[in-house]
Amino acid sequence: MDKLKPILLLTVLTSWLIGTASAQTVTRTEYQPIGFEEVASGLEHPWSLAFLPDGSMLVTERQGRLNHITQDGDIKRIPNTPEVSAVRQGGLLEVLPHPDFEDNKIVYMTYAKKDPDGSNNTATALARGFLVNDELVAVEDIFVQNRYSQPGRHYGSKLAWMPDGTLLMSIGDRGSEPPRAQDLSDHAGSLLRLTELGEPAADNPFIGHSDALPEIYSYGNRNIQGLIVDSGTGAIWATEHGPRGGDELNLIEPGSNYGWPVVSLGRDYRTEEQFANGQREHPDMVNPKVDWTPGLAPSGLVQLNGEHFGPWEGNFLAGGLRTEQLRRLVFEDGEVVHEEEILRGQLGRIRDVRVGPDNNVYVVTDSPNGSVYRIYPVNN
């Protein structure tokens, strides 16, 4: 079995210009060359990208802006977004259209919400509104986590639709009190499953438990920032941040405990000592499918379906922030058997990863002058 050691990239061609298009670069991976090109730029710490049925994109900026970006790269600001707390990791975060957007025009957004009592505390919130003529209307919160706390860290905020029409939403442990992730009366450090109106899904695992919140689907999750649902099997996959090291890829099962902070393969930021007193497993907690130590600093996650990327069909692509990586994961019988670093450093901090309607991969880079890039296969 492959030991999951990344290989060094070999950049084989330089950039060139085609008409008025942006610079395009080709780089070789283990099995095929890929190209990438910038399709939009000038975004202030963009966080999430989502495609609309016409092939255009919605892209959030953490400062609180939502952008409509055409296929030609033209950017238009969408007014009436929620008021956000744009402190450190907080702000306007995920954006995701309703599966029936073409008919109902509904868009969902997660964000760091200020405490109405006037304090600096914040909570992860889910809002939805109607996108009509490039304007949000009737925007309202449909879910707010049950405890406000210090601003700036571990909001989670990834969204994904299940085949049954329910909505998954991650909430991080909020940073300062990791044991919250083990408390079923606290939304922090969990993955939620909601109806399209923000209510608990009727068959969630803790429905009817007096000591548990009904929205919780899994817990012990430090800060999920990559989230997908396998279109074929309905399996839920998530990447989450560990402390220093101990980043994880998890297969999420209802009602399961993923261990944080009781077990961890990472180290404490301040002391560099093994987190959780060195405890790496627990009989009542689920081990990750992949442990990234050293860390990946995971962000977006996608699955490649179809033949567009040839032998990569069914593979996952996982983004990395601090590592500036895009990694390819190969599965056999539900287990990761190979991993390849296909990009490192060429684009910067990768914040989100999506597959577009053209079957190419699109990534958002997190910087004061962030961009959207298209990644595509190149024929040998």
Please list the active-site residues. Answer: 154
Tokens coding 355 = 């597959």
Radius of gyration of the chain (CA): 20
Look up tokens 């297969």; give the residue.
Answer: 251
Tokens coding 101 = 């957007």
Point out which residues pair with 51 in neighbouring strands.
57
Q: How far is CA 241 from CA 95, 289, 293, in A?
A: 20, 14, 11
The SS3 of residue 257 is: strand
Backbone angles phi, psi at 161, to 5 degrees: -90, 135
Q: In this structure, are residues 61 and 67 in contact, taking their beta carbons and an 8 Å threshold?
A: yes
- CA dist., res. 342 & res. 361, Å (int): 13
Sign of torsion, CA 200 203 205 207?
positive
Task: Spell 173-201 as b/e; 16+ CB within 10 A means b.
Answer: bbbebbebbbbeebbbbbbbbbebebebb
- CA dist., res. 296 & res. 239, Å (int): 10
- CA dist., res. 188 & res. 154, Å (int): 9
Backbone angles phi, psi at 360, to 5 degrees: -80, 165
Q: In this structure, are residues 328 and 301 in contact, taking their beta carbons and an 8 Å threshold?
A: no
- CA dist., res. 173 & res. 188, Å (int): 5
Tokens coding 180 = 């919250």
C-alpha distance across the termini of the chain, in Å? 28
How many CB atoms lie under 10 A from the CB of residue 376?
18
